[in-house]
Structure 1
Amino acid sequence: MTETGGDKPTLADFGDDFASVLCVVAHPDDIEYGTAAAVAKWTAAGKTVTYFLLTKGEAGIDTMHPDEAARVREQEERDGAAIVGVSEVDFGTHRDGNVEYGLALRRDISREIRRRKPDVVVTGHYGDRFVQGMLNQADHRAVGLATVDAVADAGNRWIFPELVDEGFEPWNVKRLCFGGSPTPTHFVDVGEHFDQAVASLEAHEAYNSALPDEFPKPAELIGMILGWGGQAAGVDKALTLDVVERR
C-alpha cells in the first residue's frame, strides 16, 4: 500500500518485520540491477537471503558458446552474490531465451519456495515495460508471472501434490515484491550499500565486457536505477518495489 501526503502518493518504507527472502529471477545479473543493494542491507541486518535463477544465462554472450557461457555466468552470479552476503544460489534447468510460462515453471518455483520457506519473495515486474518505459524481456515476463502463481501454488498442497511426495510441505509467503515496476508502493533505503551493489554487478565481468561500448558501466547504471528510486522515495538511493501483502 502507499501512504498519502497531500495530493501526491508517497512510497511506504519496506520495513524490517521479516526474517528471510527468496529472490526469483530468470538470469544471472537480473538481481544485480538494483535489487542487490537491498540484499546487502538485509544480509547486514541478519536476514537470510537466497537466490533462485531459472536459467544460467547461457544465451547472453554472443561470442561465447552457450555451454561455456553457462559455466562462466553461473560462477559470476555466485561471486556477485557473495559480495552482498548471499551464499545460497540455485539454478533451474530452463533454457535462456526460451523460458515458457506454464505448469513446469510454476512447479519449479513453487518447489523452491517450499524448500526455502521465505517470508518474502522478490521477483521482477512481468509487464511489457519496466519503470522509465524500458521494454521488458520475454524470460523476465514469464518468470515474473509464474512467480505470482507459484507463491499461491506453494501454499496449496493439492495443486502440485507431487511436491508433498518429494518432501516439500506447503508454505505461505507473507509478502510478494516486484522490482522494476512502474507502479511501486514501497522503497528500501540503500544509500549505505551502493558500493556493494556496484561491486556485485562488476563481478559479472565476462557478461559486462561483451556489452556494447555505449552501454552504461556498472557504477553509472546502478547510480541511475537507485537514483530514480531515491527521487521517488525522497532519499539519496533507493530500491523501489511493488509489494503485495499476503497476511
Structure 2
Amino acid sequence: MTQQRLDPLPTDWSRALAVVAHPDDLEYGAAAAVAAWTDGGREVVYLLATRGEAGIDSLPPAECAPLREREQRASAAVVGVRTVEFLDHRDGVIEYGTALRRDIAAAIRRHRPELVVTLNYRDTWGGVAWNTPDHRAVGRATLDAVADAGNRWIFPELTEQGLEPWGGVRWSAVAGSDRPTHAVDATAGFERSVRSLLEHRTYIEALTEEAPEKYCRSFLEGMVRAEAERFGGRPAVTFEVFAH
C-alpha cells in the first residue's frame, strides 16, 4: 500500500515556541527544521520542563542540571535559537495536570507564537518502544495549553499577572510522531543538527560507547531518510500537525 504524501509544513508564520521535557529532546530530530526556520528569519524559543538532572546515572542531579543546561543553550545556539527557558519541573516525575498546563500556557501567552512544537505524546514510539512518562505528560499538556492560553477564564491569574490571552497559535506540530502529516526539508539544516546534538556530549558519552560524532550522524541520517520517499525524495523532519 502506498503511503500518503507528506505536505510541507506551513511557513507563513514568524514566531514558534518549542516545548519539550528534557535537554536533547529537540536535538533528536527537530533541530534541522529549526535551523531552516531561523535561516528564514523566524524566531524560535525553546521551553524545557526540566533541566535533565536525572539523565546521567554517574552524575548527581545537583551537578547534572547546570551541566545539561549549558549544553542545551550551546546546542540551541547552533541552530539559531537565542532564548531557552526552563520550568524546573522534576526530571523523571513530571506530572500531567493543571500546574504543568498553566506553566506552558503562561509561556504561550508571553511569547505569542503562531506555531507550537512539542514531542511525541503517545504511549509508544511507533509501537515498538515505550515512551517515557515525561514525554507523554509534556506533549499532552502542551497541546492542551494552546487552548488554555487563549481562554481568559482558564487560569485567570495569568491575566492578573499581565499575561493577556493569546489565541494566535495556528498550528501545533508534534515531532517524533508515528503518524506524521507534514515535513520540513532537512537538507540545509542537517549538518547543524548534527553539531547541535553533539553539544550534548556529556549525555551522549554516558549513553553509548560509540564515538559521539558517529552516533549523532548515523542516528540523524537514519531519521531524515526514513520518510524521504513520502516527501519527494528529500531528507525530511516529520511532524504530526494539528490546525487551530
The TM-score, its normalising length taken from structure 2, stands at: 0.95
C-alpha distance in 2, partners of 1:132/1:103? 28
Give the deviation of 1:235 after TM superposition: 2.7
Q: Is the 8 A contact 1:33 1:222 kept in 2?
A: yes
**2:228 equivalent to 1:233:** no
1:59 is matched with: 54
1:1-247 superposed matches below 5 A: 8-131=3-126, 133-172=128-167, 173-213=169-209, 217-246=215-244
Give the deviation of 1:8 after TM superposition: 4.3
SS of alignment partner, residue 4 of structure 2: strand
Give the deviation of 1:133 after TM superposition: 3.2
Instruction: Kindly provide the CA deviation profile for residues 15-71 of structure 1, in whole angstroms up to 9, marking residues without a partner as x.
Output: 311111100000000000110100000000000000000000000000001011100
Q: Percent identity?
A: 48
Unaligned runs of 5+ in 2: none
Give the deviation of 1:93 after TM superposition: 1.4
Unaligned runs of 5+ in 1: 1-5
Instruction: Give the total of aligned pairs.
Output: 241
**Structure 1 residues 197 and 132, CA gap change in structure 2 (3 angstroms):** farther
C-alpha distance in 1, partners of 2:18/2:52? 16
SS of alignment partner, residue 188 of structure 2: helix
Give the deviation of 1:135 after TM superposition: 2.4
C-alpha distance in 2, partners of 1:123/1:136? 14
Q: Is the 8 A contact 2:4 2:230 kept in 1?
A: no
**Structure 1 residues 201 and 7, CA gap change in structure 2 (3 angstroms):** closer
Q: Once structures 1 and 2 are overlaid, which stretch shifts more, 7-16 or 77-86?
A: 7-16
Instruction: Kindly provide the CA deviation profile for residues 90-124 of structure 1, in whole angstroms up to 9, marking residues without a partner as x.
Output: 00110000100001000000000000000000001
User: RMSD in angstroms over aligned alpha carbons?
Assistant: 1.5
